[in-house]
Amino acid sequence: MNATNIYDFTVKTARGEDFAFADHKGQVILIVNTATQCGFTPQFDGLEKLYQDYKDKGLLVIGFPCNQFGSQNPEGDEETATECRLNHGVTFPLMAKIDVNGQDEAPIYTWLKSQQGFTSLGSGPKAFMMDKVVKLKVDKNYKENGAIAWNFTKFLINKQGEAVQRFEPTAEPKDIAPAIEAELAK
C-alpha cells in the first residue's frame, strides 16, 4: 500500500470493528504500541491524562496492544481493553493486538516507521539498559533501520494526517505534552 497519510488506513478495534482514520480528519493523533505487563505499562496513566487534558481540543490517543516484546501483552483483545480500563482508567480507543515489526507487522506501522525513524532513548541508566535489551532481544541495528525498539513507542500525527514526530519508549507522556500543544495550536 502506498499510503500518503494516516487517513489511508482502517484498522480493527479490540471489539473487531473497523476504525477508519479518515473519520478523524483534522484531529491530532497520538499512536502508541502498548502492553499490559511491561515496565513502561504505568505510562497508560500518563497517556490517559494527555487524552483527558486535550481531547476537547482535538487530541485522539490510540493504543495498539502488541505482544512482540518479551510477551508482555499475552491477553486477548477484549481482556486487554478491560485490564487497561480497570487498572489504568483508560478511556482512549484500544485497537486489536498487532505486530509492529517483522514479517507480520501491521501496514500502519510499516508506514509510521517509514515516516519517522528512530530518534533517541535519551540518556541515563534507563536509556543505557533499554539500549542493551533492545540490541539483544529485538534488533541490534534498531537505531539505523527504524524498528520499533519496545512497547510504548509513540507517533504524533498532525491535523493533516502526517506523522510529524516519534518518541521512543523512554519518553514519558508528560514530556511530549508541549509537542501535542504545538500541533493543536496550528
Domain harbouring 64, CATH code = 3.40.30.10
Contact partners, residue 68, CB within 8 Å, separation at least 6:
99, 100, 101, 102, 148
77-118 confidence digits (pLDDT tens): 889 988 899 899 999 999 999 999 999 999 999 999 999 998
Domain carrying residue 160? 6-118+151-185
Does residue 178 belong to any structural domain of this protein? yes
Q: How far is CA 167 from the centre of its chain?
A: 9
**What mean pLDDT is predicted for residues 37-59?**
96
Q: CA dist 95 to 69, 126, 128, 158, Å?
A: 17, 28, 31, 20
Does residue 143 belong to any structural domain of this protein? no
Does residue 145 belong to any structural domain of this protein? no
24-43 confidence digits (pLDDT tens): 999 999 999 999 999 999 99
Residue 103: Cβ-neighbour burial (10 angstroms; 0-12, 13-18, 19+)? exposed
Does residue 131 belong to any structural domain of this protein? no
Predicted confidence (pLDDT) at residue 172 exceeds the cutoff of 80: yes
Does residue 142 belong to any structural domain of this protein? no
Contact partners, residue 178, CB within 8 Å, separation at least 6:
none
Give 132-140's long-range contacts (Cβ < 8 A, gap of 24+).
137/69, 137/70, 138/69, 138/101, 139/101
Does residue 14 belong to any structural domain of this protein? yes
Does residue 168 belong to any structural domain of this protein? yes
What are the catalytic residues?
38
With cut-offs at 50, 70 and 90, classify the pLDDT of residue 126: confident
Does residue 44 contact residue 84 with C-beta atoms inside 8 Å? yes
Does residue 61 belong to any structural domain of this protein? yes
Task: Look up residue 109 and give its three cell numbers.
Answer: 506501522
Domain total of the chain: 1
